[in-house]
């Protein structure tokens, strides 16, 4: 898809200019972040200010890959329903405890059995009906807590709180080796890896700010259990950042060594979620204990 920016686009951000032709500003931002959009033949950030006459191109393949089928095509009544438990719920929102193996919303290769489909009729809000109510996500094989809205207004408020870093997200991660300090911050931009498009990395042509904080929770002979807090929320952020400081997460098939300690996935669990309720103003804090497979791996590491 190609378009030439007109006078009416001058002074606008790139993601705003592409919002209409791509269906939403959120979708435009995702494609820009993935490096699928060029301006004058070069990749730029979503905040790029457009000038009249600039040539903007979006890869056709990326558009099709990003676009899911309609809900009527995606929702199969005979498909398995994603399992989850509810850690907190009221009329405005719910906090879901997602098991490993469940994809949060439909995407290429995972059209069926997602959390978003299981929450259809309960969750609501946001620009994309195929992931209604979803405020943030977890990787398929990362377990734990995430908050889901039940209306447009609450979804918008939770998104704003997330961007303002007013939602606390803590994880437990078992890593190979040991940090050189009891606590620390990894401040390194992340984007698509220069050499492997399915991976994310600090070695990237599309860097986006990313900060991860960690403290030592438990020291084991060859491993360390870390409590990790996200300041930003980039794809695979914790996995990429810990691998970058030579502390790969145990069992991580993409950024570490698969199968360690009998693990069938990475040892990463979203254990704590805390925020101020956008409607009532009450403090909401949910804690999820380690699931059985991670408890067994931790015992094997002792």
Rounded CA gap, 190 and 187, in Å? 10
Residues whose CB falls within 8 Å of the CB of residue 77, separated by 6 or more in sequence, listed in order:
none
Q: 128-135 contacts: CB < 8 A, separation 24 or more?
A: 128/24, 128/26, 128/27, 129/71, 130/68, 130/71, 130/74, 130/105, 130/106, 131/104, 131/105, 131/106, 134/104, 134/105, 135/159, 135/162
Rounded CA gap, 228 and 217, in Å? 9
Residues whose CB falls within 8 Å of the CB of residue 33, separated by 6 or more in sequence, listed in order:
46, 191, 206, 208
Contact 256, 238 (CB under 8 A): no
Contact 272, 287 (CB under 8 A): yes
- Map tokens 């193996």 to a residue: 101
Report the alpha-carbon angle 85-224-290, nearest 5. 15
Which of 62, 75, 54, 69 minimizes the C-alpha distance to 22? 62
Contact 297, 251 (CB under 8 A): yes
DSSP-assigned letters across all residues of 206-251: S-B--EEEEEEEEE-SSEEEEEEEESS--TTHHHHHHHHTT-PBTT
Rounded CA gap, 26 and 126, in Å? 10
Instruction: Indicate which residues carry an active-site annotation.
Output: 139
């Amino acid at each position: 898809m190609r378009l030439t920016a007109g006078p009416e686009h001058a002074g606008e951000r790139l993601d705003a200019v592409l919002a209409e032709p791509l269906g939403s500003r959120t979708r435009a931002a995702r494609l820009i972040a993935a490096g699928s959009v060029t301006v004058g033949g070069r990749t730029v950030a979503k905040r790029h200010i457009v000038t009249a006459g600039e040539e903007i191109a979006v890869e056709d393949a990326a558009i099709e890959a990003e676009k899911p089928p309609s809900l009527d095509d995606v929702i199969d009544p005979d498909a398995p329903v994603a399992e989850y438990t509810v850690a907190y719920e009221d009329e405005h929102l719910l906090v879901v405890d997602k098991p490993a193996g469940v994809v949060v919303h439909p995407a290429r290769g995972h059209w069926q059995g997602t959390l978003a489909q299981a929450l259809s009729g309960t969750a609501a809000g946001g620009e994309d009906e195929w992931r209604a109510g979803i405020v943030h996500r977890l990787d398929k094989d990362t377990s734990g807590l995430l908050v889901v809205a039940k209306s447009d207004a609450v979804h918008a408020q939770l998104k704003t709180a997330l961007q303002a870093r007013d939602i606390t997200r803590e994880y437990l991660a078992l890593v190979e080796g040991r940090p050189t300090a009891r606590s620390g911050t990894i401040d390194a931009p992340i984007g698509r890896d220069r050499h492997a498009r399915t991976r994310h990395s600090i070695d990237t042509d599309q860097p986006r700010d990313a900060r991860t904080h960690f403290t030592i929770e438990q020291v084991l002979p060859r491993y360390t259990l870390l409590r990790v807090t996200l300041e930003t929320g980039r794809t695979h952020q914790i996995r990429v950042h810990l691998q970058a400081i030579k502390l790969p997460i145990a069992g991580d098939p993409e950024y570490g060594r698969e199968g360690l300690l009998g693990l069938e996935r990475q040892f990463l669990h979203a254990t704590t979620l805390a925020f101020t309720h956008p409607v009532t103003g009450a403090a909401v804090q949910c804690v999820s204990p380690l699931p059985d497979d991670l408890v067994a791996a931790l015992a094997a590491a002792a």
